[in-house]
Amino acid sequence: MPVTLKIFIAALLINNIILMRFIGLCPYIGMTTDVKQSIGMGFAVTFVMVMASTVTWSLYYFVLVPLGLEFLQILIFILIIASLVQLVEFYLKKAAPALYMSMGIYLPLITTNCAILAVTFDNITGGYTFIQSIVYSVGVALGFLLAMLLLAGLRRRVRTSAIPAFLRGNPILFVLSSLIAVSFMGFAGLIK
């Protein structure tokens, strides 16, 4: 199996960012009350994640490393992501109002989404090349979308089921996630 495909599958299923690594749990719990909403959020995250990876990777290797400023990584990356999201928002508002209507409301929320920041750090610590980092971010983002969709679908069923009193409300969501995570562990043997 080619390395890039391995990276993609590992990011999508085996190390699913939400279910296996617990990153990006806030939108996972907060934005899955409705299937449509979770899809919107998922695609907005995909878009921003790929862009953020591209920009932060280039910046790290072409600016921070030559100048010896690696210790500023956290500060610079979070600022880059915040301003990038703002720019995208302005651009979409002007150039593609239809897309903005469907995706725009999620964009401000993404700035402080740990999934985006985590992926940009992973690209550096994993030592990926430029192409690999893009493949990795697409894999992670689709994994995020998949997990969001699964929970959103299950939450529909939960609304009409009888749940033990001590698990009503938020606890049941985590019990569900636990069960989804168990099934995702089955993917662990996919890559040798």
Partner 1 sequence: MSRRLSVFLQGLVIENPLAVIMIGLCSALAVTTSVANGIGMSLAMTFVIVASELIISLFRKLIPESIRMPIFIIVIAAFTTMVDLVMKAYFPELSKAMGVFIPLIVVNCIIMGRVEAFASKEGPLDSTLDALGMGLGYTWVLVGMAVVREILGNGTLLGFPIMPESYQPILFFVLPPGGFLVFALFISLNQILKKKWLESPLGCPDPEGGK
Question: x/- contact string, 93-112, with partner 1 (CB under 8 A)?
Answer: -------------------x
Site for partner 1 in 33-92 (CB under 8 A): 71-75, 78-79, 82
Question: How far is residue 177 from each of residues 65, 88, 171, measured CA to CA in Å?
Answer: 40, 32, 10
Q: Which residues lie below 8 Å from residue 43, measured CB to CB, with a gap of 6+?
A: 103, 145
Site for partner 1 in 127-146 (CB under 8 A): none
Q: How far apart are CA 10 and CA 140, in angstroms?
A: 9
**Among the residue ranges 1-9, 48-56, 57-65, 113-121, the one whose residues contact partner 1 (CB under 8 A):** 113-121
Q: How far apart are CA 28 and CA 30, in angstroms?
A: 6
Q: How far is the CB of 94 from partner 1 (least distance, A)?
A: 21
Asked whether position 185 contacts partner 1 by CB under 8 A, the answer is yes
Give CA angle at 176 (171, 180), nearest 5°: 145
Q: Which residues lie below 8 Å from residue 14, measured CB to CB, with a gap of 6+?
A: 20, 187, 188, 190, 191
**For partner 1, which residue of 131, 163, 167, 191 counts as binding (CB under 8 A)?**
167
| Residue ranges binding partner 1 (CB under 8 A) | 19-26, 29-30, 71-75, 78-79, 82, 112-114, 117-118, 121-122, 125, 166-167, 169-175, 177-179, 181-182, 185
